């Protein structure tokens, strides 16, 4: 007899303890850890999804155990490595194993639940009877029932008047197509067996003879070639064609990539490549920090180290921030490694993601490129892991499980004995500090490939620009734009905001249109002609009069990309301007299209949000303008300066990447701020020292580790009370050197009708911390029914 240990998916009763289930005899043989199963759970034996983490043989009878109901997979979807990783992740991120396991799989592999009720007798309640007619199975979630009706359904079920069944579906399916294989060797014999008037069959035979291939897609034969379906059928019957179902990839390689050979490395690149290759060959999990200025050729270093891994029969994982996963980047990797590459990005439909994932799982893909979640790609012979733009905030997952991609990458590298390369022009303070201490090996690319200097950067003090042509474009920037347009060079403009205006203000009474659910003003969107909340999605009409005093004196404040494009179009009507932000790139393929046009110089100016700051490599761009460098500097967050410095350095790096020298203009209201000064001088090193001093003085990372605890509830008082209670408990338990900040209301204190309080824990070493937080995690689970939530965020990306 075999018993499976299963981690079950029960949202209201999460636990890291597995449950034991008997394996039915017919399924016993191929049961293995990493497979998803359907199991009965709880009093009502409702069916839930679970993961087998262990299979054991037992000789003693176990009558008390429930039985596994069925499998969702033929083979394990998670490898032993990933099962182990989930265990570690649950512990270090204070989340439940089931959420870690589910995070590792494509979304579409999360099982779908259905609750189906069937009335066994005619129900007396008239309304209920109309919704649940006799003997008709009804999916309960698809029908509107009042709470009273729901209670009644439960009662009727106990009385036996109703049966309720739970279905668990696997949503993930491979796409299968019908393929016909030609079995005919002797066409003359077949022809002699066809009747003379069977014209459709004659046609089919002629077609098969004429096309020298052996396999035909049925749909193509019938629809494209216009052959008769019944003729095909009769050929199948007579054994001349063999029918088979073949899997078809949903995101096929449409583009033919021109193969691109390895470039001859510069001496700096060569030094880096040699060091990393040596670690791959020696199979040691050494971390490298590749600090290379913008345009220094970091990508080529990645590609040539990946090449070495492949030569040794190993695989490679390359992670990039979602917004840097541009068609340009994808092309570079595919040109080098062709069809061995699998790409995972948010632009893929669920089915396409599933197909790519399976190409990785079954070993067809050797190189995986993707954003954060690709760190769980089920590669089994990892030879190298690369994190490009390692400083990027998107590497931290903000929801449960709150993992840091970097840490997961290091865990996997230790498992596979392979090196990790963290690459950036502006490494995070944490990584750079570790390199300083010798924990990472620092590799430098201090100069640009083209031997050009980094672009000349001018800072424009906007407080002295009262007579500027518009509030967004200063005289110096406008002059530079006109010059570049005249010489047919291209321009990138950064506006770190989205939407049209930040907020609407009544000039008579000072009323600001706020989200009814959140403590934040609504943002105006011209494309949808609505005011939107960026936090909860609330949307309403743009008011023509003040909702408070009915005055017509309404003004829109702040700026967005739409408004910037409008202003620019009036200033330089001859320019062809493309806007790139969340709104214009939402549609599938639209980002690729914007970049293609810009690359082919069908547009002159690319104006966008921070998504234009990373990775773009266009040789004809000679001017970069930052319209408002200050957005973000005032945020109540200890990383505000670091983020600003990064953004400015990265975007400045888009200029002058080829023969022509680049120029950068930064408009700011804080021209003397050190983040802006050092960005102007392209001086990462001085910024690093300056910022490290400040972090040291104020006791922030990397000098301290931090954990953010957030409590939220429908009532402010409830949230505050619990936050203070947690603070007291922690104070009593934790080390004397550990510092607790707060509780304070979160900077945006209310989101989606819930109130937020937060507490920051700063520590250097605290042996009691882990147990205390695990205790809070358990407590959170217990009180979640009361509507109060606690979130534990280790190494939070911000304190906001
Ligand atoms: N050894 C080389 N010889 C010739 N060209 C090279 C070499 N290495 C890289 N390049 C080219 O130099 C340009 C800049 O390289 P790449 O985009 O990799 O820089 P990067 O360091 O990733 O910059 P960023 O951080 O700004 O994205 C690219 O067009 C690339 O093809
Ligand atoms: Zn809102
Ligand atoms: Zn008003």
The tokens describing 674, both together, are 């050190």
Q: Which atom of ligand 1 is nearest to the CA of 332?
A: 31
Substitution candidate for ligand 1 out of 296, 299, 662 with most atoms within 8 A of CB: 299
Ligand 1 center from residue 445 Cα (angstroms): 11
Cα(598)–Cα(463) distance, integer angstroms: 33
Q: Are 102 and 171 in contact (CB under 8 A)?
A: no
Please give the mean pLDDT across all residues of the chain.
87
Ligand 2 center from residue 537 Cα (angstroms): 6
In tens, the pLDDT along 149-189 reads 877 887 888 788 888 776 766 666 777 788 888 888 888 88
The stretch 445-451 carries a mean pLDDT of 87
Q: Which atom of ligand 1 is nearest to the CA of 445?
A: 21
Q: Which residues pair with 387 in a beta bridge?
A: 319, 422
Substitution candidate for ligand 1 out of 263, 267, 297, 336 with most atoms within 8 A of CB: 297
Nearest CA to ligand 1 atom 22: 298
Q: Which ligand is nearest to the CA of 505?
A: 3
Cβ-count burial 15-40 (b if 16+ within 10 Å, e if not): ebebbebbbeeebeeebebbbbbbbb
Q: Which ligand is nearest to the CA of 651?
A: 1
The residue assigned the tokens 């990539």 is: 257
Q: Is the bond preceding residue 538 a cis peptide, omega within 30 degrees?
A: no
Query: Is 533 known to sit in a ligand binding site?
Result: yes
Cα(354)–Cα(346) distance, integer angstroms: 12
Q: Which atom of ligand 1 is nearest to the CA of 294?
A: 26
Question: What contacts 24+ positions apart, CB below 8 Å, involve 256-264?
Answer: 257/331, 257/334, 257/335, 257/338, 258/335, 259/335, 259/336, 259/338, 260/332, 260/335, 260/336, 262/300, 262/303, 262/304, 262/307, 262/336, 263/297, 263/300
Nearest CA to ligand 1 atom 29: 617
Nearest CA to ligand 1 atom 11: 297
pLDDT at residue number 558: 59
The residue assigned the tokens 């459709």 is: 200
Ligand 1 center from residue 492 Cα (angstroms): 19
Query: Is 100 known to sit in a ligand binding site?
Result: no
Helix axes 298-311, 267-282, angle to 10 degrees: 30
Query: Is 28 known to sit in a ligand binding site?
Result: no
Ligand 2 center from residue 629 Cα (angstroms): 26
Segment among 27-41, 290-304, 725-739 with least mean pLDDT: 27-41
State the sign of the Cα–Cα–Cα–Cα dihedral 89, 92, 93, 99: positive
**CATH number, domain 456-497+559-694:** 3.40.50.300
Ligand 3 center from residue 356 Cα (angstroms): 54
Query: Residues near 154 by Cβ (< 8 Å), separated by ≥ 6?
Result: none
- Level-2 CATH architecture, domain 2-109: 3-Layer(aba) Sandwich (3.40)
Q: Which ligand is nearest to the CA of 522?
A: 2
Ligand 3 center from residue 540 Cα (angstroms): 17
Q: Which atom of ligand 1 is nearest to the CA of 269?
A: 1
Pick the CATH number of 176-247 from 1.10.3470, 3.40.50, 1.10.10, 2.70.98: 1.10.10
User: Which CA distances in Å does 646 have to 492, 671, 682, 684?
Assistant: 17, 16, 10, 9
User: Which CA distances in Å does 72 have to 10, 48, 68, 69, 173?
Assistant: 17, 11, 11, 10, 11
Burial of 548 (0-12, 13-18, 19+ CB in 10 A): middle
The stretch 134-157 carries a mean pLDDT of 81
Q: Which ligand is nearest to the CA of 448?
A: 1
Q: Are 614 and 650 in contact (CB under 8 A)?
A: yes
Q: Which residue has the higher pLDDT, 62 or 669?
A: 669
Q: What is the dihedral of CA 83, 87, 93, 95, to 10 degrees?
A: 90
Nearest CA to ligand 1 atom 24: 294
Nearest to 676 by CA among 610, 628, 720, 721: 628
Q: Which residues pair with 531 in a beta bridge?
A: 524, 540
Ligand 1 center from residue 270 Cα (angstroms): 13
The stretch 192-203 carries a mean pLDDT of 86
Q: Are 342 and 359 in contact (CB under 8 A)?
A: yes
Strand 705-713, strand 754-763: pairing: antiparallel
The residue assigned the tokens 């230790």 is: 414
Q: Which atom of ligand 1 is nearest to the CA of 650?
A: 26
Secondary structure (3-state) at 777: helix
Q: What is the dihedral of CA 592, 594, 598, 604, to 10 degrees?
A: -170
Residue 52 has φ and ψ, to the nearest 5°, of -70, 125
In tens, the pLDDT along 390-408 reads 999 899 998 889 999 999 9
Q: How far is CA 511 from the centre of its chain?
A: 37
Burial of 432 (0-12, 13-18, 19+ CB in 10 A): buried
Cα(411)–Cα(284) distance, integer angstroms: 13
Q: Which atom of ligand 1 is nearest to the CA of 298?
A: 21
Burial of 533 (0-12, 13-18, 19+ CB in 10 A): buried
The tokens describing 277, both together, are 């290759």
The stretch 722-748 carries a mean pLDDT of 89
- Level-2 CATH architecture, domain 705-794: 2-Layer Sandwich (3.30)
- Containing H/E element for 540? strand 539-541
Nearest CA to ligand 1 atom 7: 297
pLDDT value at 494 more than 70 = yes
Q: Which atom of ligand 1 is nearest to the CA of 425?
A: 25
Substitution candidate for ligand 1 out of 268, 273, 300 with most atoms within 8 A of CB: 300
Nearest to 240 by CA among 205, 197, 213, 216: 205
- Give the other-Cβ count within 10 Å of 293's Cβ: 20
The tokens describing 39, both together, are 């199991």
Cβ-count burial 381-392 (b if 16+ within 10 Å, e if not): ebbbbbbbbbbb
pLDDT at residue number 166: 67
Q: Is 402 left (phi over 0), alpha (psi -120 to 50) or beta?
A: beta
pLDDT value at 63 more than 60 = yes
Substitution candidate for ligand 1 out of 261, 264, 290, 295 with most atoms within 8 A of CB: 295
pLDDT at residue number 499: 41
Query: Residues near 489 by Cβ (< 8 Å), separated by ≥ 6?
Result: 620, 621, 622, 623, 660
In tens, the pLDDT along 412-424 reads 999 999 999 999 9
Ligand 1 pocket at CB < 6 A: 263-266, 269, 292, 294-300, 425, 449, 615, 617, 653, 657
Nearest CA to ligand 1 atom 15: 297
The stretch 662-689 carries a mean pLDDT of 92
Q: Provide the pLDDT confidence category of residue 490 given band limits of 50, 70 and 90.
A: very high
Nearest CA to ligand 1 atom 1: 265
Ligand 2 center from residue 521 Cα (angstroms): 8
- Containing H/E element for 394? none
Ligand 2 center from residue 717 Cα (angstroms): 20
Nearest to 496 by CA among 592, 588, 564, 432: 564
Query: Is 536 known to sit in a ligand binding site?
Result: yes
End-to-end CA distance of the chain: 53
The residue assigned the tokens 């005899």 is: 25
Q: Are 579 and 525 in contact (CB under 8 A)?
A: no
Ligand 3 center from residue 634 Cα (angstroms): 28
Q: Which atom of ligand 1 is nearest to the CA of 324?
A: 27
Ligand 2 center from residue 109 Cα (angstroms): 31
The CATH T-level fold of domain 267-395+407-425 is: Rossmann fold (3.40.50)
Nearest CA to ligand 1 atom 12: 297
Q: Are 632 and 638 in contact (CB under 8 A)?
A: no
Q: Which ligand is nearest to the CA of 331?
A: 1
Q: Are 793 and 93 in contact (CB under 8 A)?
A: no
The stretch 749-776 carries a mean pLDDT of 90
Nearest CA to ligand 1 atom 14: 295
Q: Which ligand is nearest to the CA of 555?
A: 3
Ligand 2 center from residue 174 Cα (angstroms): 38
Q: Which ligand is nearest to the CA of 514?
A: 2
Q: Which atom of ligand 1 is nearest to the CA of 614?
A: 27
pLDDT at residue number 601: 94
DSSP-assigned letters across all residues of 316-385:
EEEE--GGG--HHHHHHHHHHHGGGEEEE-TTS-HHHHHHHHHHHHTT--SEEEESGGGGG---SSEEEE
Q: Which residue has the higher pLDDT, 471 or 344?
A: 344
- Give the other-Cβ count within 10 Å of 516's Cβ: 11
Q: Which residues pair with 777 in a beta bridge?
A: none
Nearest CA to ligand 1 atom 25: 294
Ligand 3 center from residue 513 Cα (angstroms): 10
Query: Is 418 known to sit in a ligand binding site?
Result: no
In tens, the pLDDT along 622-670 reads 999 999 887 777 677 788 889 999 999 999 989 888 888 899 999 988 8
Model ipTM value: 0.95
pLDDT at residue number 254: 56
């Amino acid at each position: 007899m075999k018993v499976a240990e299963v981690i079950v998916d029960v949202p209201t009763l999460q636990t890291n303890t597995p449950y034991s289930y008997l394996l039915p005899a017919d399924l016993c043989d191929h049961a293995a850890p990493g497979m998803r199963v359907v199991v009965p759970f709880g009093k009502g034996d409702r069916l839930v999804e679970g993961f087998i983490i262990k299979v054991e043989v037992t000789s003693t009878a176990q009558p008390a155990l429930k039985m596994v109901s069925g499998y969702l997979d033929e083979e394990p979807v998670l490898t032993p490595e990933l099962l182990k990783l989930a265990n570690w992740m649950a512990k270090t991120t204070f989340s439940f194993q089931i959420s870690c396991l589910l995070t590792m799989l494509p979304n579409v592999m999360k099982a779908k639940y259905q609750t189906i009720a069937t009335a066994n007798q005619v129900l007396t309640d008239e309304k209920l009877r109309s919704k649940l007619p006799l003997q008709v199975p009804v999916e309960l979630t698809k029908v509107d029932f009042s709470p009273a009706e729901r209670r009644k359904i439960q009662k009727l079920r106990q009385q036996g008047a109703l049966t309720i069944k739970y279905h668990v579906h696997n949503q993930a399916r491979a796409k299968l197509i019908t393929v016909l294989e030609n079995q005919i060797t002797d066409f003359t014999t077949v022809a002699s067996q066809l009747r003379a008037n069977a014209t459709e069959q004659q046609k089919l035979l002629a077609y098969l003879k004429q096309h020298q291939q052996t396999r035909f897609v049925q749909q193509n034969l019938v629809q494209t070639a216009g052959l008769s379906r019944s003729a095909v059928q009769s050929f199948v019957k007579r054994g001349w064609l063999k029918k088979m179902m073949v899997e078809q990839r949903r995101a096929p390689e449409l583009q033919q990539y021109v193969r691109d050979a390895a470039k001859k490395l510069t001496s700096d690149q060569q030094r880096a490549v040699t060091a990393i290759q040596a670690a791959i060959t020696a199979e040691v999990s050494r971390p490298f920090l590749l600090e290379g200025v913008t345009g220094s050729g970091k990508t080529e270093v990645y590609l040539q180290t990946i090449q070495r891994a492949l030569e040794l029969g190993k695989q490679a994982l390359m992670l990039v921030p979602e917004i840097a996963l541009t068609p340009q980047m994808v092309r570079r990797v595919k040109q080098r490694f062709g069809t061995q590459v699998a790409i995972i990005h948010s632009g893929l439909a669920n089915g396409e993601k599933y197909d790519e994932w399976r190409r990785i799982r079954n070993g067809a893909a050797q190189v995986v490129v993707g954003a954060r979640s690709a760190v769980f790609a089920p590669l089994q012979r990892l030879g190298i892991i690369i994190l490009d733009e390692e400083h990027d905030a998107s590497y931290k997952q903000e929801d449960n499980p709150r993992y840091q991609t970097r840490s997961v990458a290091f865990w996997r590298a230790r498992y596979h004995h392979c090196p990790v390369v963290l690459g950036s022009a502006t490494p995070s303070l944490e990584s750079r500090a570790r390199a300083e201490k010798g924990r990472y090996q620092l590799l430098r690319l201090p100069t640009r490939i083209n031997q050009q200097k980094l672009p000349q950067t001018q800072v424009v003090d906007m407080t002295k620009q009262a007579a500027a042509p518009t509030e967004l474009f200063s005289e110096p920037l406008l002059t530079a734009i006109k010059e570049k347009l005249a010489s047919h060079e291209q321009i990138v403009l950064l506006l770190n905001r989205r939407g049209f205006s930040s907020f609407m203000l009544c000039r008579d009474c000072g009323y600001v249109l706020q989200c009814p659910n959140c403590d934040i003003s609504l943002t105006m969107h011209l494309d949808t002609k609505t005011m939107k909340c960026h936090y909860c999605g609330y949307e309403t009409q743009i008011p023509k009069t003040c909702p408070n005093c009915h005055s017509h004196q309404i003004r829109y404040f702040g700026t967005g990309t739409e408004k910037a494009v409008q202003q620019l179009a009036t200033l330089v009507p001859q320019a062809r301007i493309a806007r790139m932000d969340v709104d214009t790139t939402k549609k599938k393929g639209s980002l690729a299209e914007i970049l293609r046009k810009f690359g082919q110089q069908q547009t002159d100016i690319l104006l966008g949000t921070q998504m234009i700051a990373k990775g773009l490599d266009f040789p004809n761009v000679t001017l970069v303008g930052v319209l408002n460098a200050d957005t973000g500097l005032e945020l109540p967050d200890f990383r505000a300066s670091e983020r600003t410095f990064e953004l400015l350095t990265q975007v400045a790096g888009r200029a002058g990447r080829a023969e022509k020298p680049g120029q950068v203009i930064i408009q700011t209201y804080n021209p003397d701020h050190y983040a802006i000064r050092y960005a102007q001088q392209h001086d990462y090193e001085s910024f690093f020292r300056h910022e490290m001093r400040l972090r040291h003085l104020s006791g922030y990372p990397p000098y301290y580790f931090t954990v953010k605890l957030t409590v939220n509830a429908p009532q402010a008082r409830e949230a505050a009370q619990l936050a203070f209670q947690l603070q007291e408990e922690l104070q009593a338990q934790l080390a004397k050197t550990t510092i607790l900040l707060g509780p304070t209301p979160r900077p945006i204190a209310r989101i989606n009708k819930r109130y937020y309080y937060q507490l920051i824990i700063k520590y250097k070493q605290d042996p009691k911390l882990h147990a205390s937080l695990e205790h809070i995690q358990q407590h959170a689970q217990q009180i979640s029914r009361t509507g109060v939530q606690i979130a534990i965020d280790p190494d939070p990306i911000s304190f906001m």
